[in-house]
Structure 1
Amino acid sequence: MARSLDIILFLLCLAVLTPTLNANPLEKNEYWEEHVPEFDSYWQERAKVAKEANQAAYFVDPYAVSGNFTATVSEIIAAKSARRSLRGNNNGTCMATNPIDRCWRCDPNWANNRQKLADCVQGFGRNTRGGKGGPFYVVTDPSDNELLDPKPGTLRHAVTRNGPLWITFARSMVITLQQELIMSSDKTIDGRGVEVYIANGAGITVQFVKNIIIHGIKIYNIKVKEGGMIRDSESHYGFRTKSDGDGISIFGASNVWIDHVSMRNCTDGLIDAIMGSTAITISNGHFTDHNEVMLFGASDDYSDDKIMQITLAFNHFGKRLVQRMPRARFGFVHVVNNDYTHWEMYAMGGSQNPTIISEGNRFIGPDNVMVGGNQLNLKEVTKREYTDESVWKNWQWRSINDEFLNGAYFIQSGPELKNRPFSKKDMITAKPGSYVGRLTRYSGNLQCRVGKPC
């Protein structure tokens, strides 16, 4: 009984949380008070099961995982014939520029072997399998009018089925979700071969589940919705309060891979991961037009987020982004080979002693701007929030082989990583940050066509 009350106790402890300027609603006590009615016995039991799955997905030695990932990237960069190693076996017709893409993109028969994608994830989400092994489900209907009894052929019907499913789309479509799309475990949303837009409505919720892949779709103009009775599985529906306007909300979930998505302009965050979520990889994404991009950990009081482990790899953080790429509390975030071409306040921030290992990224600082007759310099990549330097100087925030342009700079803290388990292949002489333009060249939604390399 005590364990089943974990969530309620968490909600109560958030009463001491101090609201922040431009705060994500998840960081406000009022948000959690509004959501208390959702945590009935059903969701408490779901939370208990998910917590056990999250613990099982946690890597005891995160430095080893990040080191292995770096070795894979370095093997490509350091290859004697780098240009050839980045291509597939298709006479140069395909250029897959990073190890995740090399796994599948140059196969002209990818559409006949879609589930191979599940073998390609790396980083902390590397054990994610999504709907692999399950049947295919083809979405034929873009409507979302029935929240309690979803119409067969719709995306909502697909994601609420029991058991693993690999979800594809019969044609290009725009799906406007009337309320948040609550996914069940062991699902892959695979938008390759067509253009799939989740737009102008609610976003996707990954709550107390595991094994989720979201690949090859565009998500934009996501709005807050008032909630109501919504189905979350074949056997259950229940009352949901107001959604927060995230593009993708990861809540107490594990083994999640988000790859080749294009996202912009959501009411809240583009991607948030909170409540002990872990074993997550976010890769090959293209993000634009947003203020608070990614929030990893919503509360300074929720120490269970120490289990959080997230890999950000090969993403392009592009035009008209302001801050939080990401903003982390607790946990371990490996930020590797991403391209930061725009920010207006800062790129990476945090509180509550998160570990942030920034490796082989390219940071292009913003131009100075005039505000009230004063020149404003916002070229610092990092921002520690609500903490004195006497405290944060011990946080493990390290920059390894990053490239800094236009005056960008990273303030490091914590001990140097002398004992990190690098392989020899990590220790190459070239600076990986200089390769970021190549590694992220195909970030975002791809224009895949059946019968051709993607």
Structure 2
Amino acid sequence: MLLPMSCILLICLLSSFSIQIKATKTFSNLTLPHQHPYPEAVVHELQQKINVSLFRRELLGKTQGSCLTGNPVDDCWRCDANWAANRQKLAECGIGFGRAAMGGKNGQIYVVTDSSDSDPVNPVPGTLRHAVIQDEPLWIIFSADMTINLRHELIFNSFKTVDGRGANVQITGHGCITLQYISNVIIHNIHVHHCKPSGNTNIRASPTHVGFRGISDGDGISIFGSRNIWIDHCSLSYCTDGLIDAIMGSTAITISNNHFGHHDEVMLLGHSDKNTPDRGMQVTIAFNHFGEGLVQRMPRCRLGYIHVVNNDFTQWEMYAIGGSANPTINSQGNRYTAPSDPNAKEVTKRVETDDKEWSGWNWRTEGDIMVNGAFFVPSGGGMSAQYAQASSVQPKSAVQINQLTMYAGVFGDPRDNGDIYPGFNGAGTTTGAGTTTGATSKGYNEGPNSDGGDFFGMIFKGSSSQAAPLAPYSSIVFVSTFLSLFIVFNLDIITNYDILLSLL
């Protein structure tokens, strides 16, 4: 009896998998050499990773305690009690469009022992600035807790990982982090806050190049013409301009598991409405907590393809997701909690654009949870029948959001961290910018209030679209998923089949 029951459940899982990887027409608007030709394939791959992780947690959680969360990034490395001896495992845990970011994988470990930043032209060995400008791949860690007060922009070279695990690392001051015309950077588990403009000075960008820099914007992390970037488990707040901005043809970016708080213009994706290279921008925003004191731009998008998945939006004053110039916004399995202001209930905002112009933009909502009167206005493909039921799901999906975002931000920070930076007073933009009246769009239909009771549809209600043709990596994912589930089922048959029975 056990074997047929396990086989039936396995077949159901693989059938669900195969449905989502059907072929369709090629995504042909390629404007960047590193743009993924089939963005929907990346979306479906991420869906499957989340579903497999949640299922594994449900299946094995009783025997492995509370280690598994269902978050595929965290479950990839955190269950290893000896992770500190295998830090570079993290580079194998990426998801979404930035999943290929190698960072400093296979490079030497560089230990930052000096928190000073006294000379941007000739940085002292042992400082973070000295580490990030080197030409070779480096995995950068910290010898102790430290606050690094920057004199000017911290300009990175390619193939670097900044890994703050095991220490309380705070980056603040002037300029903060700049990723310009580089690739393969991972920034993990650090605080970035109270960043202010700086510039009109010389700054070293590599061992052999010093360049003059004008005035910076005061972003927390500025991504400019760069690719294969992964920002994970950071806490960002109180910067003069954006907390994270990606512009000028940047692509292949994942922003995951971060905590954002106390800021006005949180995240800008795209330089201007007419900057053609940004049509190739592809960004995954997953498992983040958009927390206290936020006003707008979570994110504000232009031109590209933005996948916003399984985030928890607990506060905004104006809107959560905005855009102009026809970006594709694919919102799946997020929880949007509207503010009390009756004029700011709308999640979405088309920035300075007439209704007739944006009606064809492809903005989708799928499996999103709407709380306190929040509502998402879809358009284009997002208005089709297959998305009509996606405006609301039942409370069990909210439990999954809690699990997936429970560790958002730097590990050890409180989930709603309030103001955790005493001694910093107003160096950056905070809340209080006021609110605007949320426009009520014509023809909006919330759809039925049900998620159908489907465990594997709990985050991804229905089918977001037909998927792209199978790329080679999709076949690998399929095979690895099959083998992983086969092993898991057999282990469960041997140990505790009651869990399987409870899922049928």
Question: Do they superpose with TM above 0.5?
Answer: yes
The alignment partner of 2:400 has SS state of: helix
Structure 1 residue 436 corresponds to structure 2 residue 401 = yes
The alignment partner of 2:236 has SS state of: strand
- Out of 121-130 and 64-73, give the one that drifted further: 64-73
Partner of 2:34: 57
Deviations 1:240-285 (A, max 9, x none): 0011100000000000000000011000000000000000000000
Deviations 1:105-127 (A, max 9, x none): 11111000000000000000011
Partner of 1:296: 269
* Alpha-carbon distance between aligned partners in 2 of 1:83 and 1:200, rounded to the nearest angstrom: 44
1:226 to 182, 199, 202: 199
* Alpha-carbon distance between aligned partners in 2 of 1:317 and 1:229, rounded to the nearest angstrom: 35
Q: CA deviation at 1:418?
A: 7.7
Partner of 2:438: none
- What is the identity, as a one-letter code, of the residue corresponding to 1:306? R
Q: Compute the TM-score of the two structures, normalised by the length of structure 1.
A: 0.80
Q: Percent identity?
A: 52
Q: CA deviation at 1:310?
A: 0.2
Partner of 1:384: 350
Q: Conserved in 2, the CA contact under 8 Å of 1:142 and 1:155?
A: yes
Count, aligned residues:
377
* Alpha-carbon distance between aligned partners in 2 of 1:239 and 1:365, rounded to the nearest angstrom: 44
Q: Which runs of 5+ in 2 are unaligned?
A: 1-30, 387-392, 414-504
Partner of 1:46: none
Structure 1 residue 266 corresponds to structure 2 residue 243 = no
Q: Conserved in 2, the CA contact under 8 Å of 1:403 and 1:434?
A: no
The alignment partner of 2:380 has SS state of: coil
Deviations 1:180-224 (A, max 9, x none): 000000000000001000023331000000000000100111111
* Alpha-carbon distance between aligned partners in 2 of 1:430 and 1:209, rounded to the nearest angstrom: 43
Q: Conserved in 2, the CA contact under 8 Å of 1:179 and 1:227?
A: no
2:317 to 309, 322, 344: 344
Q: CA deviation at 1:72?
A: 1.6
Q: Compute the TM-score of the two structures, normalised by the length of structure 2.
A: 0.72
Q: CA deviation at 1:227?
A: 3.3
The alignment partner of 1:55 has SS state of: coil
Q: Conserved in 2, the CA contact under 8 Å of 1:358 and 1:398?
A: yes
Q: Conserved in 1, the CA contact under 8 Å of 2:244 and 2:267?
A: yes
Q: CA deviation at 1:95?
A: 4.2
Partner of 2:43: 66
The alignment partner of 1:176 has SS state of: strand
**1:13-92 counterparts in 2 under 5 A?**
55-77=32-54, 79=55, 82-85=57-60, 91-92=64-65
Q: CA deviation at 1:429?
A: 10
* Alpha-carbon distance between aligned partners in 2 of 1:418 and 1:70, rounded to the nearest angstrom: 21
Q: Conserved in 2, the CA contact under 8 Å of 1:401 and 1:431?
A: no
Q: Conserved in 1, the CA contact under 8 Å of 2:263 and 2:295?
A: yes
Q: CA deviation at 1:85?
A: 4.4
Q: CA deviation at 1:67?
A: 1.2
Q: Conserved in 2, the CA contact under 8 Å of 1:402 and 1:431?
A: no
Q: Conserved in 1, the CA contact under 8 Å of 2:50 and 2:70?
A: no
Q: CA deviation at 1:391?
A: 1.2
Q: 1:56 to 1:127 in 2, by over 3 A?
A: farther
Q: 1:205 to 1:419 in 2, by over 3 A?
A: farther
* Alpha-carbon distance between aligned partners in 2 of 1:360 and 1:328, rounded to the nearest angstrom: 19
2:370 to 384, 390, 404: 404
1:445 to 394, 410, 415: 410
Q: CA deviation at 1:296?
A: 0.2
Q: CA deviation at 1:84?
A: 4.8
Q: CA deviation at 1:435?
A: 1.7
* Alpha-carbon distance between aligned partners in 2 of 1:171 and 1:247, rounded to the nearest angstrom: 22
**1:42-441 counterparts in 2 under 5 A?**
55-77=32-54, 79=55, 82-85=57-60, 91-92=64-65, 94-368=67-341, 376-416=342-382, 432=397, 434-441=399-406
- What is the identity, as a one-letter code, of the residue corresponding to 1:245? G
* Alpha-carbon distance between aligned partners in 1 of 2:275 and 2:60, rounded to the nearest angstrom: 44
- Out of 385-394 and 311-320, give the one that drifted further: 385-394
The alignment partner of 1:272 has SS state of: strand
The alignment partner of 1:435 has SS state of: helix
Partner of 1:18: none
Q: Conserved in 2, the CA contact under 8 Å of 1:176 and 1:202?
A: no
The alignment partner of 1:301 has SS state of: coil
RMSD: 2.1
Deviations 1:375-411 (A, max 9, x none): x520100000121111101000000000001000000
Q: 1:223 to 1:429 in 2, by over 3 A?
A: closer
Deviations 1:9-29 (A, max 9, x none): xxxxxxxxxxxxxxxxxxxxx
Q: Conserved in 1, the CA contact under 8 Å of 2:224 and 2:246?
A: yes
Partner of 2:420: none
- What is the identity, as a one-letter code, of the residue corresponding to 1:213? I
Partner of 1:3: none
Q: 1:82 to 1:111 in 2, by over 3 A?
A: closer
Deviations 1:121-150 (A, max 9, x none): 000001111000111100000000011111
Q: 1:362 to 1:430 in 2, by over 3 A?
A: closer
- Which structure would you say has the larger Rg? 2
Q: Conserved in 2, the CA contact under 8 Å of 1:193 and 1:447?
A: no
Over 2 Å off, 4+ runs: 54-57, 74-77, 81-87, 93-97, 416-420, 428-434
Q: CA deviation at 1:83?
A: 3.7
* Alpha-carbon distance between aligned partners in 1 of 2:58 and 2:208, rounded to the nearest angstrom: 52
Q: 1:419 to 1:140 in 2, by over 3 A?
A: farther
